[in-house]
A and B are shown apart, each in its own frame.
Chain A
Amino acid sequence: MDKNKYKMLVNKYTPKENRLYNGLIAFIVGGLMGVLGQFLVSFYAYYFSVPTKDASVFMIITLVFLGCFLTCLGFFDKMVSFARCGLIIPITGFAHSMMSAALEYKKEGLVTGIGANMFKLAGTVIIFGVVSAYLFGLLRVMVIGG
């Protein structure tokens, strides 16, 4: 059997992922994360009397902490498996990927284990985050001049 014919056979018996359902769940959970984030920003701005800019930083710290903490308790992976991009795209996904890698390699030492592997998944996000920030920043300067 040639490769193309075999590919057709494999496709015939490969179950379809339920993209609409997954997308909907991700949309709802991701939206709720946005609501939570906004609530935290307003909460910090109002009760701690700090500017919105600082309150946003507090909100990020809170969500990163939650993502890390729940990962360490061992059930955030199940939540992510369910909500998919609803929890992966927000900052919680970034925290989750770092913390899960750190947990995985902690037995291999502080430097050779955690240090070398913590950014195994999150490293990509940082690199391309910086690259795209640079590109879009440049684009903005060229189009509207800063």
Chain B
Amino acid sequence: MTFKYNNVYINGTSTITGPYEAKGPFNKYYDKSYDNFYCGTKTWEQAESKLLVESVDTVLAKVMKVKKEVDLHISGDLLNQIVSTNYASATLGIPLIGIYSACSTSVLGLILGSNMLDSDQIQNCVVSVSSHNNGSEKQFRQPVEYGGPKRKTATFTVTGAASAYLSRKESPIKIESATIGRVIDLGVTDPYHMGAAMAPSAATTIYEHLKETNRDISYYDLVLTGDLGVYGKKILTEYMRLEYHVELNHYDDTACMIYDLENQPVFAGGSGPACLPLVVYSYIFEKMKRKELKRVLLVATGALLSPTMTNQKLSIPSVSHAISLEVNHDLS
């Protein structure tokens, strides 16, 4: 399902990260980074909530708005009952739509916000997302201090929160169109190879977006997937070629960008809902503002993993949502 938007803009963004992201290549672009996983709180879950609150406060300060002026907050995270979002929202006090779409939450939030703005239901909204490495390890994998070996295909959940302020007021970055993806399951059962689980859903969403907008892949200066990782990226490229005869020439994956893969212990790269927006709101937006990139297709990839279901020997379904961002030429 593809939507087209007439005047929805991203007026401001914020990025708050944890220690590992700060050691990655985009450190200078982040608004703030913490040097430990607790971020001044007692637990990882509370730390994630704090990151989320700070990211909303930071973006509102940038666009010079107060919380009362914000119509809606759309937010999500990875933890059970999306607790980080709910507890952050109790502090923020902005009307909330809490969403869960695993690592594709960021783009799903942008799509929901854009739809409501385009249909004049709201005047503005803040879309945020967060994830926490240790919080996710605890919930989905093994205890953090447990050193059981991991495979090369495993990914490292990003710690951080990112927010975007959306409205109809013109700004350099325009949200042009978006595609809601289908849930795809091609039988991958390995929770340590999520790139393989997610690649077919990313491919399907990219293909449907191109078909429904009548575009060729060359229309975009860059196609950016969320967290497929080093091996998932290769699988997607070949899958697109075999299944849809589409060559992904200008393509990258934020999981492979956010960390220094050579020197940081992150296996196949980053993952988590915050991975894509942390890279996009910092480095990619900077490039778009400098007009080095004009049209970017973001494809957030989400593995809808549940330890209960994988223990029941079921495979991992996944969903990807795409959103097309353009540099607003009217402003230049």
Contacts and interface: CB of A to CB of B under 8 A. Distances in A.
B200 A6 contact: yes
A1 B146 contact: no
A121 B146 contact: yes
A88 B148 CA distance: 8
Interface centre among B147, B148, B193, B238 (most CB of A within 10 A): B147
Nearest to B151: A17
B134 to A, nearest CB: 9
B142 interface: yes
A53 interface: no
B146 A96 contact: yes
A96 B180 CA distance: 44
Contacts, number: 83
A104 B143 contact: yes
A71 B200 contact: no
Nearest to A72: B145
A141 interface: no
Contacts of B147: 76-81, 87, 96, 100
A74 interface: yes
Determine the interface band of chain A, counting residues with CB < 8 A from chain B.
20 to 34
Interface stretch (A7-15, A28-36, A57-65, A125-133): A7-15
A101 interface: yes
A100 B148 CA distance: 11
Given A6-B186, A7-B187, A104-B138, A15 B153 contact: yes
Contacts of A6: 186-187, 200, 239
Chain B interface main SS type: loop
Interface string A42-75: 0000000000000000000000000000010010
A102 to B, nearest CB: 9
B149 to A, nearest CB: 5
A101 B186 contact: no
Contacts of A87: 147
B313 interface: no
Determine the interface band of chain B, counting residues with CB < 8 A from chain A.
20 to 34
A135 interface: no
Nearest to A78: B147
Given A99-B145, A121-B143, A15 B152 contact: yes
B196 A10 contact: yes
A99 B145 CA distance: 8
B329 interface: no
Nearest to B138: A104
Contact of A13 (B151, B188, B234): B234
B235 interface: yes
A100 B144 contact: yes
Given A15-B231, A80-B148, A100-B144, 15 more contacts: A1-B186, A6-B239, A9-B235, A9-B238, A9-B242, A14-B153, A15-B153, A17-B151, A79-B147, A87-B147, A99-B145, A101-B146, A104-B143, A121-B143, A121-B146
21 contacts: A3-B186, A3-B187, A6-B200, A9-B238, A9-B239, A13-B231, A13-B238, A14-B193, A22-B149, A71-B145, A74-B145, A77-B145, A80-B146, A80-B147, A81-B147, A100-B143, A100-B147, A103-B143, A104-B143, A104-B144, A107-B43
